[in-house]
């Protein structure tokens, strides 16, 4: 139980109430070959896999879908975002990409096409994710595949303020008759030192520089 207490249940009840847990328990304790489990455990676990696969298929369909009845390009499908603008005679996704590029570009040191990457650097992928805000503003965020580099020796953590924290802050300010000031640092994550020796090949998200190499580390060591 969730409170740490235990109780005895007959096998029939356990198989009806929590069939997956009962089947996994039988496998973990090596009693799945017993007469009470011999056919039931494989059947139950197979059924579990079927349910999981069905959920995955539905999730894959949803990833392709819309938000607020607006089509959202898939992960890293920059060209589709530009095509949507052409089809709807708008510049929503183009403007979102341009805004993100303007934020990211100052942190990059873009090499000339014939300039070689110094030894010791390894390539990671650059990707773009798309979203629609509640006010229907389109948003694009360019990021690097951090899973393609070695795990840093120190623990990394990026906190995000919650709505509850903001409400508590407003309440305390009101009760103590205090003024509140807020600010937003655009691209704050780009100001953190980058110790890894990495570079990437720019793609469609930076069409003017597509195919050229860049590294964020060189900006901080220049």
Least confident of 119-123, 158-162, 179-183: 158-162
How many Cβ atoms from other residues are within 10 Å of residue 78's Cβ?
Answer: 20
**Over pLDDT 90: what percentage of the chain?**
15
Of 203, 201, 209, 204, the closest CA to residue 79 belongs to 204
Tell which wins on pLDDT, 148 or 211.
148
Model pTM? 0.55
Query: How would you classify the pairing of strands 70-71 and 126-132?
Result: unpaired
Residue 2 has pLDDT above 60, yes or no: no
Residue 136 has pLDDT above 70, yes or no: yes
- Check whether residue 85 and residue 48 sit in a common domain: no
- Check whether residue 73 and residue 115 sit in a common domain: yes
**Over pLDDT 70: what percentage of the chain?**
74
Residue 114 has pLDDT above 70, yes or no: yes
- Check whether residue 48 and residue 134 sit in a common domain: no
- Check whether residue 18 and residue 37 sit in a common domain: yes
How many Cβ atoms from other residues are within 10 Å of residue 126's Cβ?
Answer: 20
Query: Rounded to an integer, what distance in angstroms lies between the CA atom of residue 89 and that of residue 83?
Result: 10
- Check whether residue 217 and residue 129 sit in a common domain: yes
Average pLDDT, the chain: 77
Q: HSE (CB half, 13 Å, CA atoms) of 183? A: 4
32 in Cβ contact with 26 (< 8 Å): yes
Residue 36 has pLDDT above 70, yes or no: yes
Residue 139: its pLDDT value, please?
Answer: 92
Per-residue model confidence as pLDDT tens digits over 54-112: 766 666 555 557 788 888 888 888 888 889 999 999 999 999 988 988 888 877 777 77
Tell which wins on pLDDT, 194 or 220.
194
Q: How many domains does the chain have?
A: 2
Residue 216: its pLDDT value, please?
Answer: 46
User: Does residue 24 fall inside a structural domain?
Assistant: yes
Query: Rounded to an integer, what distance in angstroms lies between the CA atom of residue 47 and that of residue 20?
Result: 9
What residue ranges in the chain does DSSP mark as E strands? 66-67, 70-71, 109-110, 122-123, 126-132, 138-144, 198-201, 213-215
Q: What domain range includes position 72?
A: 66-153+187-221
User: Does residue 104 fall inside a structural domain?
Assistant: yes
Residue 138 has pLDDT above 90, yes or no: yes
46, 63, 80 - which closes a domain: 63
- Check whether residue 118 and residue 141 sit in a common domain: yes
Query: Rounded to an integer, what distance in angstroms lies between the CA atom of residue 191 and that of residue 112?
Result: 24
- Check whether residue 88 and residue 198 sit in a common domain: yes
- Check whether residue 74 and residue 32 sit in a common domain: no
Residue 124: its pLDDT value, please?
Answer: 80
């Amino acid at each position: 139980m969730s409170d740490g207490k235990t109780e005895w249940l007959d096998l029939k009840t356990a198989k009806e109430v929590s069939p997956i847990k009962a089947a996994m328990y039988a496998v973990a304790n090596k009693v799945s070959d017993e007469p009470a489990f011999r056919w039931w455990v494989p059947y139950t676990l197979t059924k579990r896999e079927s349910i999981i696969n069905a959920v995955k298929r539905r999730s894959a369909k949803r990833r392709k879908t819309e938000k607020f009845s607006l089509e959202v390009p898939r992960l890293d499908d920059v060209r589709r975002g530009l095509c949507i603008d052409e089809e709807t005679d708008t510049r929503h996704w183009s403007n979102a990409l341009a805004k993100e590029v303007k934020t990211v570009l100052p942190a990059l040191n873009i090499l000339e096409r014939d300039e070689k990457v110094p030894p010791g650097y390894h390539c990671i992928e650059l990707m773009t994710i798309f979203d629609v805000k509640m006010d229907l503003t389109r948003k694009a965020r360019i990021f690097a595949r951090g899973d393609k580099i070695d795990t840093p020796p120190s623990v990394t953590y990026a906190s995000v303020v919650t709505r509850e924290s903001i409400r508590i802050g407003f309440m305390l300010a009101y009760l103590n008759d205090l003024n509140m000031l807020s600010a937003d640092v655009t691209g704050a994550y780009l100001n953190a030192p980058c110790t890894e020796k990495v570079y990437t090949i720019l793609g469609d998200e930076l069409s003017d520089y597509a195919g050229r190499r860049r590294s964020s580390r060189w900006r901080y060591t220049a």
